[in-house]
Amino acid sequence: MSIDLASVAILGALQASFLAVLLLVATRSYAGVAQASLRIRGWASLLEAAGWWLLGMRGMLGDWWAIGLANGLVIVSYAMTVRAMRMLLGAPSRQRIIVVVSLTCWLVILWYAMVQPDYLARVLWASIVVALDVALLIRPLARCLRAKGSIAERIMLGVLLMSASLLAWRIVDLLFGRAPPGNILDRTFVNTVYMMLTSMQPTFTSIGFLLMYNEAMQADLKRVARIDPLTGVANRLALAELARGVFDRAARGDEPFAVLMLDADHFKRINDRFGHDGGDKVLLTLVDSIRACLGRKEVIGRVGGEEFVVLSPQTTLKAAQELAERIRVAVEHAQLWIEGEVQSLTVSIGVTLSRAQDSDFETVLRRADQALYAAKRAGRNRVMSSPTEPPGQ
């Protein structure tokens, strides 16, 4: 049974139109980069659908419409898809390159359609645009090939590689086939497979966009759920997750880790006098001072109102004490302006080291908390350490 390729083109247009409307309607409640990216893809699908419609009407329309304008719409839709995808992935748009190459190739396609008709030349020039677009899409997607890469990005990469393979197969058939077709609607085996799979590509691409958006949103929600909204440091949940890994490595016989528990001195006094805005400035200044003293391996988290914890993996008690003292001095010398007045800011710090007999991270944290309150009782603005061994040993 022969397949009418014009009908295949029109079915492709229907699919692209439906998905375009779906994307444009569904993204009205989205915000930011995700909304912009998916809406661009939605409009690109509409243009792609228009191009497929014009192609399917070939024979009833002149070459200007069925070849020239149809190719132009598809080229623009591909360019918009590249922009949308790279926006969603956070990659540079490369818009200037895309515009220049796309416009040049489209003008050449028009020449070989209207002035000097040559089907093979049109296909080769159109292939340049597709190859560029695919390359610009594959490059930022290549990161998904790493361990624990995005499943949605791998699906999209597979769609792109399929598209590239189909195009390469079609070009080889045109160059070396026994009876090259005169246009894309000629019912050859290659044309039939190419048209059927290519007509479904808008569906695969739009689904890929939605899957990637969903993964990005899930990652953002997971990140937001683990970040303190005021200070931007890890919250108690994130700190506990990070600490489990550190604790497990220490339990397996690696070097112990240190925990620093920090508390802003006289925080309530400033909070009562200047309100929550003043208290927020204290916490932000405190976090900035702590971060300035940390190395790449240390992690800071907020565990309470004005209480913070620093994890320092694979360290010694002496090194942890020196780190705590650097933090104490940095906080003491920090410039804290509230309502035009310079306020003094100090911090008390409790330091402890993990022990082989510790059952969990909470045990280490309680010991650091006890050392912190010992520093408070001793007069504040100081560092106190818990014993490295439990009493009686």
336-to-268, 341, 346 alpha-carbon distances in Å? 16, 8, 11
Same-domain status, 282 and 217: no
pLDDT of residue 224 exceeding 50, the answer is yes
Asked if 146 and 202 count as a contact pair (C-beta separation under 8 A), the reply is: no
Domain identity same for 17 and 95: yes
Q: Which residue has the tokens 């508390």?
A: 263
CATH of the domain at 186: 1.20.1070.10
pLDDT of residue 392: 40
Lowest-confidence segment of 45-49, 107-111, 271-275 by average pLDDT: 271-275
Sign of CA dihedral 222, 225, 229, 232: negative
Q: Please give the pLDDT value at position 150.
A: 82
The pTM (predicted TM-score) of the whole model is: 0.67
Catalytic residue among 48, 153, 298, 306: 306
pLDDT band at 147 (very low <50, low <70, confident <90, very high): low
Same-domain check for residues 45 and 193:
yes
pLDDT of residue 19: 85
Quote the distance between the C-alpha of residue 51 and its chain's center. Answer: 32
Q: Are residues 17 and 39 in the same domain?
A: yes
Q: The domain containing residue 98 runs over which residues?
A: 5-224
Inform me whether the pLDDT recorded for 178 exceeds 70: no
Please name the amino acid found at residue 352.
T
pLDDT of residue 360: 83
Last residue in a domain, options 224, 253, 282: 224
- How far CA 213 is from CA of 38, 70, 238, 303, 393, in Å, comes to 8, 29, 24, 32, 56
Whether the pLDDT of residue 254 is over 70: the answer is: no
Closest CA to 262 of 356, 354, 352: 352
Q: Determine the pLDDT at residue 163.
A: 84
DSSP string, 59-128: TTB-HIIIIIIHHHHHHHHHHHHHHHHHHHHT----HHHHHHHHHHHHHHHHIIIIIS--HHHHHHHHHH
pLDDT (0 to 100) of residue 2? 67
3-state secondary structure of 264: strand
The reply to whether 116 and 171 lie within a common domain is yes
Q: In 3D, which of 73, 79, 91, 97 has the Cα closest to residue 33? A: 91
Are residues 61 and 204 located together in one domain of the fold? yes
Mean pLDDT throughout 149-162? 85
Q: Where does a domain end: 202, 224, 246?
A: 224
Please give the Cα distance from 158 to 160 (Å, whole number): 5
3-state secondary structure of 111: helix
Rounded distance between C-alpha atoms, residue 202 and residue 55, angstroms: 15
Q: Is residue 99 part of a domain?
A: yes
How far apart (Å, rounded) are the C-alpha atoms in residues 51 and 70?
A: 4
Whether residue 390 lies inside any domain: the answer is no
For 105, the token pair is: 């190739």
C-beta of residue 314 within 8 angstroms of C-beta of residue 251 = no
Q: Is residue 339 flagged as an active site residue?
A: no
121 and 252 co-located in one domain: no
146 domain-assigned: yes
166 inside domain: yes
Given a contact cutoff of 8 angstroms between Cβ atoms, the answer to whether 13 and 49 are in contact is: yes
Beta strands 299-302; 307-312: pairing state: antiparallel
Residues 87-112 have a mean pLDDT of 90
Backbone angles phi, psi at 249, to 5 degrees: -65, -40
Last residue of a domain, one of 197, 224, 251: 224
Residue 1: the pLDDT is 47
- Position 264 scores a pLDDT of 92
**Phi, psi (rounded to 5 degrees) for 385:** -120, 145
User: Is residue 74 located within the same domain as residue 190?
Assistant: yes
Handedness of CA 124, 130, 134, 137 (dihedral sign): positive
Q: What's the pLDDT at 209? A: 83
How far apart are alpha carbons 228 and 319 in whole angstroms? 27
The verdict on 242 and 219 lying in the same domain is: no
- Please check whether residues 260 and 114 belong to one and the same domain: no
CB 381 within 8 A of CB 328: yes
Summarised one tens digit per residue, pLDDT across range 9-41 is: 888 899 889 888 888 887 777 777 878 888 899
Q: What is the mean pLDDT of residues 36-63?
A: 88
Q: What angle do CA 76, 16, 50 make, to 5 degrees?
A: 50
* 3-state percent helix, strand, coil for the chain, nearest multiple of 5: 65, 10, 25
Q: Tell me what percent of the residues of the chain surpass a pLDDT of 90.
A: 30
| Strand bridging mode 347-353 / 341-342 | unpaired
Segment 189-216 shows an average pLDDT of 83
Q: Give the confidence band of 72 by pLDDT, cuts at 50, 70, 90.
A: very high
Query: How confident is the model over 285-317, as pLDDT tens digits?
Result: 999 999 999 988 899 999 888 899 999 998 888
Whether 154 is in a domain gets the answer yes
Structural domains counted in the chain: 2
**160 Cβ partners below 8 Å, 6+ apart?**
134, 137, 138, 141
Q: Check whether 393 has a pLDDT greater than 60.
A: no
Which pLDDT belongs to residue 47?
Answer: 93
**Dmax of the chain from CA atoms?**
97
Contacts of 167 by beta carbon, 8 Å cutoff, 6+ apart = 127, 130, 131
Residues 294 and 155 in one domain: no
Q: Which of 63, 168, 171 is nearest to 117 (CA)?
A: 63
Q: CA-CA distance, 73 to 88, in Å (whole number)?
A: 22
Give a yes or no: residue 138 inside a domain.
Answer: yes
